[in-house]
Structure 1
Amino acid sequence: MTAPQAPQHRVALDLQGAVCPSPSADPQAFLQHLYAQAVWRAQPLQGLARHLPLPPKGRTLVLGAGKAGASMAQAVEALWPAEAPLSGLVVTRYHHIPPRPVGLPERIEVLEASHPVPDAAGLAAAQRILQLTEGLTEDDLVLCLISGGGSALLTLPAEGLSLEDKQRINRELLHSGASIGEMNCVRKHLSRIKGGRLAAACAPARVITLTISDVPGDDPSVIASGPTVPDASSCAEALAILARYGIEVPAAVHAQLQAGALETPKPGDAVFAGHEVQLIATPRQSLEVAAEVARAAGIAAYVLSDEIEGESREVGKVHAALARSVAQQGQPFARPCVILSGGETTVTIRPQPAGSPRGRGGRAGEFCLGLAQALQGQPRVWALAADTDGIDGVEDNAGACVSPDTLARAQALGLKVEQFLDRNDAYGYFEALGDLVITGPTHTNVNDFRAMLILD
């Protein structure tokens, strides 16, 4: 049976004048409001001003990469003294440049490239960024604007690797179920710009990295593969990860990894002397803002963690077990309440028979599939999971919603949740139900946002 098209949940992120919806009258609107508040907290203008230094004696060069790159650049342009020199280049994902505020002069060039698989535009941008570091002096300041997605956008393959090699390796890593830390360990050692190498190129200038965290633990060396910070991982670890997931690299590159020839600058290296790293937005901050909004609406709120990792569907099942316990027994939290979590889960793509349609969806959608399957229509439980960058995987949705009647409505359309899980097709399932969450690009990225509302 072909499911009819259904209108989806379109979430407005402009909170000016927005009133928090009643949790009991409209549970899904309430959860969407919490998500919008979390995204608002992660906007660069909310946290960047207090971390900007004074202009240097020399010039100020802005370099950067990530899904928030363009909005971060605009924030610097708005806050930097008009009389102080400012120039630079950042690269962001296609269609992730926000509208420019009226009257804001453009002093930082913004380029677009592909994410999550790199392309020639990202390669050209990385080459130009390295070129801009030539001739820097100790009187100069480099502001590096780093956010999630920068690893794919800032691509400059190591000697012996082609762009096509990097694209294949990236795809295989994305489909393997590897954690973000594992993926970025490999990316650092197969790059000429990541893993601290951009900082080395900026010497002897002072470098201040302003970053928006999208990784569990907020480790700057993992965010966008740490182009300006020391890297404690090794070539041997990168080789072990490649072997673990059965990913091949050209023989010459494999030999360089074995010999340690592609090693990255390490902690304590003099190249990082005097450098600073400032976190201007983190997953925890966004979750805490959502919790505060819920409490102001009279709903108890609990933040489980901002560092949850693992298979998305399995994380969904664990969250479902917690929600069922609260709904049925009032343990470990009393109803009504909101349970929040963040982090970066993974999706392992299951092989499909030849000719079968490709599944569509990302981490948030697959979490919702696993959650809905395990909840089994549990009364009084509503949920939303969405990526804070507005893009779940490579589709046009940020995530999806789950309600007590999710499975019943799907069954009425002839949709079986098990079949959609088998082919990693969360998008198709929730699209048919009208339960995709759609925001468009948010121009920031603090990773997964998950909220479960359990009512009396």
Structure 2
Amino acid sequence: MPPPDLLQHLFAAAIASAQPAQCVPPYLPRPEEVKGRLVVLGAGKASAAMAQVVEQHWPGLLSGLVVTRYGYQVPCQRIEVVQAAHPVPDAAGLHAAQRMLALAEGLTADDVVLALISGGGSALLPLPLPGITLQDKQAINRALLASGASIGEMNTVRRHLSAIKGGRLAAACHPARVITLLLSDVPGDHPADIASGPTVGDASTCADALAIVQRYGLQLPPPVLAALESGAGESIKPNDPRLATARTHLIAAPQQALEAAARVAQQHGIACHILSDAIEGEARDVGQVLAALALQVAQRGQPFQPPCVLLSGGETTVTLRSTPQTAGLGGRNVECLLAFTLATRGHPRIHALMGDTDGVDGGAEIAGACSGPHTLAQAFAQGLSPLAHLDGHDAHRFFQALGASVVTGPTLTNVNDFRAILILNK
């Protein structure tokens, strides 16, 4: 099988392992456990697909509302699906969050709320604290995305400026029992970081959020700064009595996606090594480190013997060196891949695929890209400057010009970045 085809098979296996149809049913409550109503509330890129699976498996009365990214809706009969913007929020997400809190009112101890939470929920539930506007939230999101902050840092700030995240949705559902099904897209799988934790307690504080703002030199509107400095944005803590009956289940995560891809590689007779499911850092720096490791394997047989595949996940970041207005069409995975490709310098036995398992990497409806021994030569033959595209955060256009983009369309799941490096022995 040609290396690009094998790498795409590995990527497809990772995505398939995290499909809601596979991972939701085992965690649904039994009908006899629900004395009152079952109300579904959810947010994230996978939330509509998760809701559809709930409908297919729940025999009794069912109602609710989920909000997903534009283009990620699937047909549901009993659960309403709303679409909103990601990664910069819009009014549709704000209104959906308001309606979600309204649905939480008046629930009883006999009722059960099934919370379907996946990556992307932070932007899709942009309900701000009183005194903070949607425009403020949009500006903060743009600043965080351009700052180079990690996803954990970004979501710490978001939790403390929200009227629904940071455990507030679960608190609003009290005294109903809340069962949260989490599909993780964050390094470390920390529940409070997945969609900024609308239904889980949060141990971080306003002071932590303010320190992150200061660390990255973010300029905040006065009402936002006041909410953090005064403590008005404090989140719901893990020991809050309103969360006493809440239960949380991690139903899919990057590690299981990498393991699924590893099984496919092994079926093709190629050894596979999972480096980590939680790699973070500047995308181009991660690409250079992975390139150094791939070259060591290819040239020295250390620490692994070729042929082999090196897999990793996590979430890198991109600090914009140009302004958002002048930055090109890029994403963290293709930026990592372009840096990797430059550093491997056309080595004849190194191939790679890097992409986002939700099908969207950065500013384009493109999951990622592939590169190989001939990528740089093809680029030079077309008059492309790889370094200029890297410095301009324009990696998608670079790989598009070479016909090397990986396009999946909406995958209806999200278990973060996927990186596969294939090193042949001849």
- TM superposition score normalised by structure 1: 0.91
Displacement of 1:394 in angstroms is 2.4
Displacement of 1:357 in angstroms is 4.9
Question: Could you say which residue in structure 2 is the equivalent of 1:90?
Answer: 66
Distance 1:254 1:357, change over 3 A: closer
User: Which of 270, 273, 276 is the matching residue for 1:302?
Assistant: 273
* 1:398–1:437 CA contact under 8 A, matched in 2: yes
* 2:70–2:85 CA contact under 8 A, matched in 1: yes
Question: Could you say which residue in structure 1 is the equivalent of 2:95?
Answer: 124
Question: Could you say which residue in structure 2 is the equivalent of 1:34?
Answer: 10
* 1:417–1:429 CA contact under 8 A, matched in 2: yes
Question: Could you say which residue in structure 2 is the equivalent of 1:221?
Answer: 192
User: Which of 118, 126, 134 is the matching residue for 1:155?
Assistant: 126
Distance 1:37 1:138 in 2: 41
Alignment RMSD (CA, Å): 1.2
Q: Does 1:362 align with 2:338?
A: no
Q: Does 1:388 align with 2:357?
A: yes
Question: Could you say which residue in structure 1 is the equivalent of 2:371?
Answer: 402
Paired residue type of 2:71: H
Distance 2:224 2:333 in 1: 35
* 1:63–1:89 CA contact under 8 A, matched in 2: yes
User: Which of 65, 70, 80 is the matching residue for 2:48?
Assistant: 70
Displacement of 1:414 in angstroms is 1.2
SS at 2:278's partner residue? coil
SS at 1:307's partner residue? strand
Distance 1:277 1:408 in 2: 50
Q: Does 1:44 align with 2:20?
A: yes
Which shows bigger deviation, 363-372 or 255-264?
A: 255-264
Displacement of 1:406 in angstroms is 0.7
1:205-237 per-position Cα deviation (integer Å, ceiling 9, x unaligned): 000000100000111110000000000111011
User: Which of 262, 269, 286 is the matching residue for 1:291?
Assistant: 262
Question: How many pairs align?
Answer: 423
User: Which of 311, 321, 341 is the matching residue for 2:292?
Assistant: 321
Question: Could you say which residue in structure 1 is the equivalent of 2:222?
Answer: 251
Distance 1:349 1:37 in 2: 32
Displacement of 1:358 in angstroms is 3.4
1:27-56 per-position Cα deviation (integer Å, ceiling 9, x unaligned): 000000110010000101111111111131
Q: Name segments (4+ residues, structure 1) moved above 3 Å.
A: none
* 1:390–1:442 CA contact under 8 A, matched in 2: yes
Paired residue type of 2:130: E
Percent identity over the alignment is: 62
Displacement of 1:251 in angstroms is 2.3
Displacement of 1:436 in angstroms is 0.7
1:398-455 per-position Cα deviation (integer Å, ceiling 9, x unaligned): 0011101111110111111111111110011111111111011100000000000011
Paired residue type of 2:370: C
Displacement of 1:351 in angstroms is 2.0
SS at 2:155's partner residue? helix
Q: Does 1:455 align with 2:415?
A: no
Distance 1:252 1:87 in 2: 36
- Structure 2 residues not aligned, in runs of 5+: none
Bigger proportion of residues as helix: 2
1:41-73 per-position Cα deviation (integer Å, ceiling 9, x unaligned): 010111111111113100000000000011000
Distance 2:420 2:409 in 1: 20
Question: Could you say which residue in structure 2 is the equivalent of 1:202?
Answer: 173
Question: Could you say which residue in structure 2 is the equivalent of 1:3?
Answer: none
After TM superposition, the structure 1 = structure 2 runs for residues 94-173 of structure 1, keeping only pairs within 5 Å, are 94-98=70-74, 100=75, 106-173=77-144
Paired residue type of 1:227: P
Paired residue type of 2:43: A
SS at 2:40's partner residue? strand
* 1:160–1:250 CA contact under 8 A, matched in 2: no
Paired residue type of 2:44: G
* 2:68–2:84 CA contact under 8 A, matched in 1: yes
* 1:207–1:275 CA contact under 8 A, matched in 2: yes
Displacement of 1:382 in angstroms is 0.5
- TM superposition score normalised by structure 2: 0.98
Distance 2:223 2:43 in 1: 29
* 2:161–2:227 CA contact under 8 A, matched in 1: no
Paired residue type of 2:195: A
1:241-262 per-position Cα deviation (integer Å, ceiling 9, x unaligned): 1112222223233233222121
Paired residue type of 2:359: G
Taking CA–CA contacts closer than 8 Å with sequence separation of 6 or more, which of the two structures ends up with the larger relative contact order?
1
Question: Could you say which residue in structure 1 is the equivalent of 2:312?
Answer: 341
* 2:117–2:181 CA contact under 8 A, matched in 1: yes
